[in-house]
Structure 1
Amino acid sequence: MGYCKEEEEEENQAKCLRVHGPIIVGAGPSGLAVSACLKDNGVPSLILERSDCIASSWQERTYDRLKLHLPKQFCELPLFGFPENFPKYPTKHQFISYLKSYATHFSIEPRFIQVVQCAVFDQRSRLWRVQTQDCEYISRWLIVATGENAEPAIPEIPGIERFQGPVVHTSVYKSGSDFKNQRVLVVGCGNSGMEISLDLCRHHATPHMVVRNTVHILPREMFGFSTFGIAMALLKWLPLRLVDKFLLMVTNFTLGNTDRLGLRRPKTGPLELKNATGKTPVLDVGALSHIKSDKIKVMKGVREITKNGAKFMDGQEREFDSIILATGYKSNVPCWLKSSDFFTEEGMPKTPFPNSWKGENGLYTVGFTRKGLLGTSSDAVKIARDIAADQWRRIKDCKNTCDSPYYPTKIAFTKS
């Protein structure tokens, strides 16, 4: 373990621990990746996790039919690949098993049920003080690994409190079997909204999917290869806008004109839009054919929710049995990270990728690149190397004055 091993009674009395290496907040893929990279560079760390398991978002807040949208080679964490027998697009259960194997392989043991209430940089001691519900942790470094999707984003929809049926966010949706033969309003048309609408169809429900804004829909594969993989390969040789034009040309040929289905495309290309706003294009896994056959009904924006249904911007009014909010997630960093202006009010780094991984005073971030697990892996490697170099310099500077190689083996702090 990377934290000070004090006697149990002393720990309970002080309620304050000095961490030998960085404190990592979050035990999802980002936290695991940076912890493994640190260990590979000889740096211990401590992960604080609010839940009782690793990758709680994957284990507790994903629907049953979920698969990785990208081929497995683009979703591997550093230093440890997927099993060879995994399919091209692993299921959520396979991905969770991979993450558990990853943690076991690198002997990563987070401290669970540690809800970070406040993290603040102490200017006097030049250390980070991280307060949970029952302990304060102190370290030279703080790594924010809670990611872009820490909390469900719940929109304010007029009248939704009047609706008499169930209203659920996709974070609690598991299967369309719970909505069999129902008329379901799905608010949101991203990857989750599309896939849940498809899942509802397969369980004989009638989904009505709200498409408020423009959206890019791309085939998951082109010419038998991953669309994402083709895009990454082309970007090595061609400008981004030219790659966007190629993707849209092939998409229009294979999927047809989606504008006719009520799915208007943005004027900005899919990759350029992703880089500018973080809005991910939808990779179609079958929902579009159900839209074309009218099994998934496309609706314009909701004007208001009624007692038994909804009124829409185009004047239509429909009755529904249930409402599913496929409205995504948001960062929760502003709720607990204090004394830092590195993040925006929305909880994203102000500095864009590829320089969003490092702040000031030993603050680092991983999982905020809007580049998926590829971005996570890239940042984890950079953070580990940077901290390892910093630690080496500190050891060198202190070796003639410190009794121990780096930190004392036992440190007692009292709360200030």
Structure 2
Amino acid sequence: MATQTTTIQESKGNGICHRTMNSESKSVWIPGPVIIGAGPSGLAVAACLKERGVPFLILEKESCIGSLWTLKTYNRLQLHLPKEICKLPYMPFPPEVPAYPTKQQFISYLEAYAKHFSIEPMFRQEVRSATYDTRMGFWRVQANESEFLCQRLIVATGENAEPLLPDIEGISDFKGRLFHTSRYKDGADFKGHKVLVVGCGNSGMEISLDLCDNGAQVSLAVRDKLHILPREVLGRSTFSLSMWLLKWFPVKLVDWFLLLCSQLILGDTHKMGIQRPKIGPLEQKESTGKTPVLDVGAFSKIKSGKIKVVCGVQRFTAEGAAFVDGHVENFDSVILATGYRSNVKSWLKDNFFNERDGYPRNPFPNNWKGENGLYSVGFTRRGLLGSSIDAHRVAEDIARQWNTETKAFFSFNSHIQHSY
């Protein structure tokens, strides 16, 4: 392979991250792993590598770290789990940050995290393809105008890389405002408007609450059965309490306890038009990956009638939507709270990830390592805690190989010197 030369200038950051390339550069050899994505997962594995003395390069397609949080989340967003569970490796949240950090507090934490570990991604580097060269024994990562060559590739683009847009009949016919939650910021512009929120996960519920608090007339389309749980039980995080109980009791018994607490605290969701699945919330999360809604106030608005629950959308009209129960209603705006999806299969040429959903074929806890030096971080369906678990495992595995290879290299050089 003919490769044009590259001038590389080392910096004190990642060891190999901050580099200067001349105008004719086409291919760059990276001695350590290349990390794709500078969100929480990419930062977590970078810090773990840094702690073990392994150099790396992070490629990030946007101009900032944590781009999903910075660019595509609504203003009132808070972490739904307590900060102790959401911290990244080796660095807790500052003590002054509340139990459930806000969006801006979490972004500030990520920025401080990158600064603390001197993590310096290469921004505006969109990876267009990553292919393993079996003949040469390394990965070819094509990003913008440069190709990066490495022996180890870490995919840390996450489960929420791009918006998931539903294919609903007539969606292009709707004449009002229609957009995904990735473009929603706050409800100030919707006062007095009739708004349909399609999707009732945590984002759909919280955006409905935000719209309601800003004077909008909100309808929430609920298509599937779902579990709604209080965010806290007995003054303790529902998630933390669940994890503690699972150490002592089977999942079905813990689910029974959570549903009992939900009944006592929230009331009967079925009466409000929201049916629960037959299996419990933890069992459902384990088997399907679907996360229960942790209520932060939306359900009280539903019970009071300020948020109207409607059934699933059958089709859109020019003025609104027709629902599966036959009724038709007009709306000024439609907000699609239909989630996100992985985009790995659009650029990674490897069978480690499923074509169907872009997740590793092997479920957690065996999701983090593939073949030929390929790794994944943040595809566990377990949020930030899962990312931290992956980051430790990946960094430990790479560091073990790195140290062995480094010792072998110096041993070989020493042998050559003695020979002469």
Please give the secondary structure, in 2, of the residue aligned with 1:131. strand
**1:217 maps to 2:228:** yes
Query: Aligned residue for 1:151?
Result: 162
Distance (Å, rounded) in 2 between the aligned partners of 1:332 and 1:359: 18
Distance (Å, rounded) in 2 between the aligned partners of 1:104 and 1:16: 28
Stretches of structure 2 that go unaligned for 5 or more consecutive residues are 1-13, 416-420
For residue 126 of structure 1, the aligned residue among 121, 137, 141 is 137
Assess, with a 3 A threshold, how the Cα gap between structure 1 residues 202 and 387 changes in structure 2: closer, same or farther: same
Residue 13 of structure 1 deviates from its aligned partner by 2.1
- Checking the alignment, whether the CA contact within 8 Å between 2:159 and 2:340 is kept in structure 1 is yes
Query: Aligned residue for 1:2?
Result: 15
Query: Aligned residue for 1:287?
Result: 298
For residue 231 of structure 1, the aligned residue among 212, 218, 242 is 242
**1:315 maps to 2:326:** yes
Distance (Å, rounded) in 1 between the aligned partners of 2:190 and 2:31: 50
- Checking the alignment, whether the CA contact within 8 Å between 1:309 and 1:321 is kept in structure 2 is yes
Stretches of structure 1 that go unaligned for 5 or more consecutive residues are 405-416
Residue 260 of structure 1 deviates from its aligned partner by 1.0
Write the mapping of 1:324-335 to structure 2, written as runs, cut at 5 A: 324-335=335-346
Please give the secondary structure, in 2, of the residue aligned with 1:47. strand
**1:83 maps to 2:78:** no
Query: Aligned residue for 2:84?
Result: 73
Letter matched to residue 15 of structure 2: G
Assess, with a 3 A threshold, how the Cα gap between structure 1 residues 3 and 196 changes in structure 2: closer, same or farther: same
Distance (Å, rounded) in 1 between the aligned partners of 2:343 and 2:177: 26
Residue 298 of structure 1 deviates from its aligned partner by 0.5
Distance (Å, rounded) in 1 between the aligned partners of 2:122 and 2:414: 29
- Checking the alignment, whether the CA contact within 8 Å between 2:229 and 2:294 is kept in structure 1 is yes
Write the mapping of 1:286-305 to structure 2, written as runs, cut at 5 A: 286-305=297-316
**1:394 maps to 2:401:** no
- Checking the alignment, whether the CA contact within 8 Å between 1:186 and 1:325 is kept in structure 2 is yes
RMSD value, Cα:
1.6
- Checking the alignment, whether the CA contact within 8 Å between 1:4 and 1:18 is kept in structure 2 is no
Query: Aligned residue for 2:265?
Result: 254
**1:207 maps to 2:207:** no
**1:104 maps to 2:115:** yes
% identical equivalent positions: 57
Please give the secondary structure, in 1, of the residue aligned with 2:197. strand
Please give the secondary structure, in 1, of the residue aligned with 2:132. strand
Q: What do residues 106-144 of structure 1 show as CA deviations (whole Å, max 9, x unaligned)?
A: 000000000000001110111111001110001110000
- Checking the alignment, whether the CA contact within 8 Å between 1:270 and 1:281 is kept in structure 2 is yes
For residue 379 of structure 1, the aligned residue among 390, 404, 409 is 390
Letter matched to residue 269 of structure 1: G
Please give the secondary structure, in 2, of the residue aligned with 1:24. strand
Assess, with a 3 A threshold, how the Cα gap between structure 1 residues 4 and 172 changes in structure 2: closer, same or farther: closer
Assess, with a 3 A threshold, how the Cα gap between structure 1 residues 370 and 257 changes in structure 2: closer, same or farther: same
- TM-score in terms of structure 2 length: 0.93
Residue 303 of structure 1 deviates from its aligned partner by 1.1
Query: Aligned residue for 1:44?
Result: 55
Please give the secondary structure, in 1, of the residue aligned with 2:122. coil
Residue 402 of structure 1 deviates from its aligned partner by 5.1
- Checking the alignment, whether the CA contact within 8 Å between 2:209 and 2:298 is kept in structure 1 is yes
**1:270 maps to 2:281:** yes
184-193 or 394-403, larger mean C-alpha shift: 394-403
Please give the secondary structure, in 1, of the residue aligned with 2:390. helix
Please give the secondary structure, in 1, of the residue aligned with 2:302. helix
Distance (Å, rounded) in 2 between the aligned partners of 1:397 and 1:277: 45
Give the paired residue count: 403
Query: Aligned residue for 2:9?
Result: none
Distance (Å, rounded) in 1 between the aligned partners of 2:171 and 2:381: 31
Q: What do residues 18-48 of structure 1 show as CA deviations (whole Å, max 9, x unaligned)?
A: 1121100000000000000000011011100
Q: What do residues 241-284 of structure 1 show as CA deviations (whole Å, max 9, x unaligned)?
A: 11111111111111111111110000111011111111100000
Letter matched to residue 292 of structure 1: K
- TM-score in terms of structure 1 length: 0.94
Please give the secondary structure, in 1, of the residue aligned with 2:349. coil
Please give the secondary structure, in 2, of the residue aligned with 1:298. strand
- Checking the alignment, whether the CA contact within 8 Å between 2:17 and 2:57 is kept in structure 1 is no
